[in-house]
Structure 1
């Protein structure tokens, strides 16, 4: 599977709510540097998987609507908006934030991520 397909698999509907699937797509030494409107986070594999677990406790659906995806070798840039449906209100789709991320893929796994988000 190529780098672009691996990144697309990560952002498929509901994958971010499935810690096992997220874990399978991450390199053991993955690092995600995330600049959000609330500050900076540097996440390693266990923290990313834990974030997935926490998301699954609050949301029953997750959808990333990709507007742009560009691949160059093992580097893939993605621009997307992340939408969710809550347990309390499963009929209403709510936008979490807009994202821009650059992923480096190594050994067919997500290895380095540089992400920015805004509510």
Structure 2
């Protein structure tokens, strides 16, 4: 049985919050802070910053799905590894890896409170895709 903290993180990333940012209130603590290291540099986002960015993301793609490969927990912290796959408005039939992410979330008051996020551009190479598959 999955813990409520792990379920919260999983539900957040599969919720479609980028299409309906009102969902953020269900998952994200009002005092949330996201510390994000990406290929374009470091960003520190609060609830409102993240909401604006999520809204922009939802407008930029025809479809966006989250493939979760790892979900680990220690106390009130949950680590997740995932890839966003996207369909662009220009080519809605083509689904490609948009970006790969690792995030550690601290859970407070049953919501996502502090997130430490690392991302890099998506890569559909065979080795990268096979790294998502369970080892025998």
Partners of 2:89 and 2:22 lie apart in 1 by 21
Give the total of aligned pairs: 119
RCO higher in structure (CA 8 A, sep ≥6) = 1
**How high is the TM-score relative to the length of structure 2?**
0.81
Unaligned runs of 5+ in 1: none
Larger Rg over CA atoms: 2
- Give structure 1 regions of 4+ aligned residues with deviation exceeding 3 angstroms: none
Confirm or deny: 8 A CA contact 1:37 1:117 kept in the other structure. yes
**Partner residue of 2:103 out of 81, 101, 104:** 101
TM-score by length of 1: 0.92
Q: Which residue does the alignment assign to 1:54?
A: 56
Higher strand fraction (1 or 2): 1
Unaligned runs of 5+ in 2: 122-136
Deviations 1:71-105 (A, max 9, x none): 12211000111111122221111211111100011
